[in-house]
């Protein structure tokens, strides 16, 4: 199984915990292959930096490093729009280029178009299923 993690799930993993954090732990321990592009990693870093700043320095600036060093990097191919929301295109393109099984996201409604319909979404409710598969 191969995944791409949406930024909202990465933030949940660090700042809320729960199933998203356990999924990230599997990635860090090389038990679940996760894929990203340089643009996705930059978005993760910017989002974590923004929330870290709100915590008034209570978090280390290298918080993402154990996670990002385990990601399998994908060089994105040019593609037409895959999603109705332009910000989600990078996740769908990455999933297609990596032949990923799921995009793990907190959003139920990532409206895909065309080739983007080949990518399955795993939302919060499905994380327990994903965790069960990882624990096998």
What separation in angstroms does the CA of 132 have from each of 8, 30, 32, 126? Answer: 21, 16, 12, 10
Distance between CA atoms of 24 and 44, rounded to whole angstroms? 13
pLDDT digits (tens, 9 = 90+) for 34-92: 999 999 999 999 998 888 777 665 556 677 899 999 999 999 888 777 777 777 888 98
Distance between CA atoms of 12 and 32, rounded to whole angstroms? 18
| Half-sphere exposure of residue 22: CA atoms within 13 angstroms, side-chain side | 12
The whole-number pLDDT of residue 113 equals 47
Cα(68)–Cα(81) distance, integer angstroms: 26
Domains of the chain: 3-134 (3.40.50.1010)
């Amino acid at each position: 199984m191969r995944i791409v993690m949406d930024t909202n799930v990465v933030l949940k993993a660090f700042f809320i915990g729960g199933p998203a954090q356990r999924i990230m732990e599997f990635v860090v321990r090389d038990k679940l292959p996760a894929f990203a592009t340089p643009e996705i990693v930059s978005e993760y870093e910017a989002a974590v930096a923004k929330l870290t700043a709100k915590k008034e320095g209570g978090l280390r600036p290298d918080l993402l490093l154990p996670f990002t060093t385990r990601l399998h990097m994908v060089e994105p191919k040019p593609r037409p729009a895959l999603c109705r929301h332009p910000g989600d295109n990078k996740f769908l393109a990455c999933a297609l280029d990596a032949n990923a099984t799921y995009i793990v996201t907190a959003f139920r409604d990532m409206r895909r178009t065309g080739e983007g319909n080949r990518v399955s979404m795993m939302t919060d409710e499905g994380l327990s299923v994903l965790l069960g598969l990882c624990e096998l």
